């Protein structure tokens, strides 16, 4: 007990998990905590279904918001919306608070609700195809390595031609052009892209669109800077992405979360190790991101997690078992909250043994403890303010102070009506992009073929120099044209997202 008391006696601001338990007895004086300054060193919240992971996320998010740190939560089951409402006291909450020596005060927190593509009650958010990039899109479509490489060539072609890929119809238009008679020369120039592979990708895109995926891509694109907002009273904003309506598309929403992280990495400046993080990002159902991922994709995730720490962003992966997270990523997670594990099968027993081996030495029989933890209990070890692992602590967790159930519909509607960013993303934009530009080229082709004859029959102007002064120059006409402005916008989109894309193995790696 002395070791735990000393190991968690931090001087700076911290989040409190609860009180330590030794030999079945709870010691209220032995507070198990995590320094605010190490939350950008990332972490893992793991445990079997029903062991209290969601309540741990809620508990951490509350305290982060209360100390001025914005939080992002992916709400898979729809029960985190209660953070916007003060909790309701009951005998169980009162007894738990008394057992760990805490005062429980019902509190509501500033909350913003988002929904993916508008499928839900939250603010609809989208990403453009250009910024999403070929590697992330390949993960969503289930493409193999060859097809992923070929899709990268399609993006490269669109970049080179100034064709903005904003939504799925833009990408389909580019592939249809490359596989058409008019695009054969362009397809041949790409070298590594075969017509057969392009056809496969096109069929996957059409099937993807038939599933309703058109809603997830387009403009206005979500600005991840909106995740970093504060409320008027200085609390961090809790942004909750509603996902219950897209539970049947796990590859899509897990990859979309990865896009958000990559976008944050692209936009945020280096800050080193701040006193508190700029944002803590909880990546729920993390195993969905890693299932079936290619080596290059996993390498990109590892790189993103490693580098985003210096941008002041902490990432907590939330999943059922530590084995769901690749070892290279797991090695970068300095903070662990482990709820109960199950060991019903030989594979479960093997995973349990592997999990125990990753903990520092302790006075607990972790093999037995991890399979017998009650709901609302966890085995915790975090990094101290000096960066050293704290002693392993069996912890009886605090109860969240906000509502541990979905928020009432009236509350949701009130929050949506008062949102400061709702209007920013309300209306879908469909500006000129690859689809429209390719359509224009096809319509202009017959006129271009007839142009030489018309030019030959026209008399030369009597005073060409005077005409050039009186009429707008060719350059002025080009600059003022809508096509030129669209190309500039497209180029801006491409340049602005180039590094985000390069994190995931795209062909273009320079700024």
| Ordered DSSP codes for 242-273 | E-GGGTT-HHHHHHHHHHHHHHHHHHSPP--S
Range scoring the smallest mean pLDDT among 59-73, 116-130, 451-465: 451-465
Distances (CA, A) of 92 to 48, 87, 104, 401: 22, 13, 12, 13
CA distance 348 to 363: 23
pLDDT exceeds 70 at position 222: yes
**What percentage of residues in the chain have a pLDDT greater than 70?**
87
For residue 309, pLDDT beyond 90: yes
Predicted TM-score (pTM) of the model is: 0.84
When pLDDT is averaged across residues 335-346 and rounded to a whole number, the result is 92
Asked if pLDDT for residue 326 goes beyond 60, the answer is yes
- The CATH class for the domain spanning 2-124+223-426 reads alpha beta
Confidence of residue 108 (pLDDT cuts 50, 70, 90): very high
- Res. 482 pLDDT band, cuts 50 70 90: very low
**From 75-79, 132-136, 439-443, the region with the lowest mean pLDDT:** 439-443
pLDDT of residue 8: 95
Whether residue 486 has pLDDT greater than 80:
no
Q: Are 131 and 240 in contact (CB under 8 A)?
A: no
Q: Tell me the pLDDT tens digit for each residue of 12-69.
A: 999 999 999 999 999 999 999 999 999 999 999 999 988 999 999 999 999 999 999 9
Token pair listed for 62: 């509350």
Task: Give the model's pLDDT for residue 21.
Answer: 96
CB atoms < 10 A from the CB of 69, how many? 27
Continuous segment of H or E residues that includes residue 452:
helix 434-457
Where is average pLDDT lowest: 148-162, 251-265, 336-350, 483-497? 483-497
Spatial neighbors of 266 by CB under 8 A, at least 6 apart, are 497, 499, 500, 503
pLDDT of residue 483: 44
For the cut 50, the answer to whether the pLDDT of residue 92 exceeds it is yes
When the pLDDT of each residue in the chain is averaged and rounded to a whole number, the result is 85
Residue 506 has a pLDDT of 32
Residue 494 has pLDDT above 70, yes or no: no
Residue 377: per-residue pLDDT: 96
Query: Looking at residue 155, what is its pLDDT?
Result: 92
- Is residue 439 scored above 90 in pLDDT? no
| pLDDT score recorded for residue 314 | 96
Helices 168-178 and 145-161: angle between axes, nearest 10 degrees: 90
Q: Determine the pLDDT at residue 372.
A: 94
pLDDT of residue 462: 45
* Structural tokens at position 468: 């050039």
Q: Is the predicted pLDDT of residue 402 greater than 90, yes or no?
A: yes
Confirm if 127 and 114 have CB atoms less than 8 A apart: no
User: DSSP of 92-158, one letter per residue?
Assistant: HHHHHHHHTT---------EEEEEETT-SSSEEE-B-HHHHHHHHHHHHHT--HHHHHHHHHHHHHH
For residue 448, the model assigns a pLDDT of 53
In whole angstroms, what is the distance from residue 506 CA to residue 497 CA? 11
Report pLDDT for 502: 47
Question: Does residue 510 carry a pLDDT above 70?
Answer: no
**At 159, phi and psi to the nearest 5?**
-60, -50
- 174-199: per-residue pLDDT in tens? 999 998 988 888 888 888 788 899 99
Q: Note the pLDDT of residue 293.
A: 80
User: Does 379 have pLDDT greater than 80?
Assistant: yes
Domain ranges for the chain, please list them: 2-124+223-426, 129-217+462-502
The pLDDT of residue 419: 94
The Cα–Cα gap between 221 and 295 comes to 28
């Amino acid at each position: 007990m002395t070791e735990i008391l000393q190991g968690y006696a931090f001087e700076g601001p911290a989040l409190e998990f609860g009180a330590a338990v030794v030999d079945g007895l709870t010691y209220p004086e032995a507070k198990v905590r995590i320094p605010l300054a190490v939350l950008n060193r990332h972490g893992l919240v793991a445990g079997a279904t029903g062991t209290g992971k969601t309540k741990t996320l809620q508990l951490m998010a509350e305290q982060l918001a209360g100390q001025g740190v914005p939080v992002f939560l992916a709400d898979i089951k729809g029960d985190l919306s209660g953070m916007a409402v003060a909790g309701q006291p009951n005998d169980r909450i009162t007894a738990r608070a008394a057992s760990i020596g805490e005062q429980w005060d019902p509190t509501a927190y500033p909350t913003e609700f988002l929904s993916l593509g508008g499928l839900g009650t939250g603010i609809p958010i989208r990403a453009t195809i250009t910024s999403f990039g070929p590697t992330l899109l390949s993960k969503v479509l289930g493409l193999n390595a060859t097809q992923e490489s070929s899709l990268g060539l399609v993006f490269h072609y669109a970049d080179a031609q100034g064709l903005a890929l904003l939504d799925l119809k833009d990408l389909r238009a580019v592939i249809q052009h490359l596989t058409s008679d008019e695009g054969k020369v362009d397809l041949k120039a790409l070298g590594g892209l075969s017509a057969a592979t392009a056809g496969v990708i096109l069929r996957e895109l059409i099937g993807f669109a038939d599933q309703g995926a058109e809603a997830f891509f387009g403009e206005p694109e979500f600005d991840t800077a909106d995740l970093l907002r504060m409320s008027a009273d200085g609390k961090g904003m809790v942004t909750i992405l509603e996902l219950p309506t897209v539970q049947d598309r796990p590859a899509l929403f897990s990859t979309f979360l990865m896009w958000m992280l990559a976008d944050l990495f692209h936009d945020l400046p280096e800050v080193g190790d701040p006193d508190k993080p700029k944002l803590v990002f909880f990546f729920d159902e993390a195993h969905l991101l890693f299932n079936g991922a290619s080596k290059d994709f996993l390498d990109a995730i590892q790189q993103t997690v490693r580098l985003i720490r210096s941008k002041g962003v902490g990432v907590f992966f939330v999943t059922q078992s530590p084995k769901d997270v690749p070892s290279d990523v797991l090695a970068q997670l300095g903070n662990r909250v482990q709820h109960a594990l199950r060991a019903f099968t030989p594979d479960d027993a093997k995973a349990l043994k592997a999990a125990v081996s990753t903990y520092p030495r302790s006075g607990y029989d972790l093999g037995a403890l991890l399979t017998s933890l009650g709901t609302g209990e966890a085995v915790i070890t975090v990094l101290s303010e000096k960066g050293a692992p704290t002693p392993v602590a069996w912890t009886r967790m605090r109860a969240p102070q906000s509502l541990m159930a979905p928020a009432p519909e009236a509350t949701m509607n009130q929050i949506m009506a008062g949102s400061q960013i709702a209007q920013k993303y309300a209306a879908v934009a469909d500006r000129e992009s690859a689809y429209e530009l390719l359509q224009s080229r096809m319509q202009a082709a017959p006129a271009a073929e007839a142009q030489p004859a018309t030019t030959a029959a026209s008399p030369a102007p009597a005073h060409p120099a005077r005409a050039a002064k009186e009429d707008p120059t060719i350059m002025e006409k080009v600059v003022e044209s809508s096509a030129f402005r669209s190309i500039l916008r497209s180029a801006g989109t491409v340049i602005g997202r180039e590094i985000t894309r390069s994190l995931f193995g795209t062909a273009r790696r320079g700024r």
